[in-house]
Amino acid sequence: MPPRRSPIASSLLAGVAVLALMGGCGEEDTPPASAGAESAPESPAAAPEAGGAAPAITLEVTADKTHAVQPGDEIGITVSVEGFTLDAAGIGAEAEPGRGHYHVYFGGSEGEPLLVSADANAVVKVSDDVTDGTHSLLIQLRGNDHSPLDPPIETKVRLIIYRL
């Protein structure tokens, strides 16, 4: 005769079995940041669409120069977004859903950004004192009030820097 289970244990086992059978049902796939020819995704770049929620936001960034970058070089970037309005006039204003700008950082998002812009085409200057090696530009969408989106929408562009 099998051992008798308590009603709580039976309920827990039944719940685990249901979850195992579901295997992820109901989860939405959120596509990564759209990667341009010269960029790589860093984190999810789309807010999920569900039951009347805001449309998915995508971010794509390409750079005109990623290899053999010299300290002091200027790099042209092209920023493309969907589901979000880049609003130059709103930079620094009160937060408004679906509107804002982007910040560009060298490396991570700590410290002051290299650039705060809402322009589709912009130029970022590499510091004169950057070390040789592989680095990245982090491009992050922000609300008008400079707060990061939740969840964050960002991508990185890899740079290879060396002195000739």
d(CA 116, CA 100): 10
What is the DSSP code (8-state) at residue 28? P
Quote the pLDDT of residue 54.
Answer: 61
Asked if pLDDT for residue 48 goes beyond 70, the answer is: no
Contact 75, 137 (CB under 8 A): yes
d(CA 156, CA 40): 6
**Fold exhibited by the domain 34-161:** Immunoglobulin-like (2.60.40)
Q: Where are the beta strands (DSSP E) in the chain?
A: 34-35, 40-41, 58-63, 74-82, 85-86, 99-106, 115-117, 121-125, 133-143, 154-161
Contact 67, 117 (CB under 8 A): no
> Minimum mean pLDDT among 45-54, 90-99, 146-155: which range?
45-54
Q: For all residues of the chain together, what is the average pLDDT? A: 76
Asked if pLDDT for residue 140 goes beyond 60, the answer is: yes
Contact 151, 47 (CB under 8 A): yes
Identify which has the larger pLDDT, 66 or 6: 66
Residue 76, SS3?
A: strand
Quote the pLDDT of residue 7.
Answer: 41
Q: Which helix (H) or strand (E) holds 12?
A: helix 7-22
What percent of the chain stands above pLDDT 70?
67
Picking from 112, 136, 119, the residue whose alpha carbon sits closest to that of residue 81 is: 119
pLDDT tens digits for 1-45? 444 444 433 333 333 332 232 333 333 333 334 333 333 333 334
What is the DSSP code (8-state) at residue 82? E
Domain borders along the chain are 34-161
d(CA 27, CA 36): 26
Asked if pLDDT for residue 159 goes beyond 70, the answer is: yes
pLDDT tens digits for 71-82? 999 999 999 999
pLDDT tens digits for 85-118? 999 999 999 999 999 999 999 988 888 999 999 9
Quote the pLDDT of residue 87.
Answer: 97
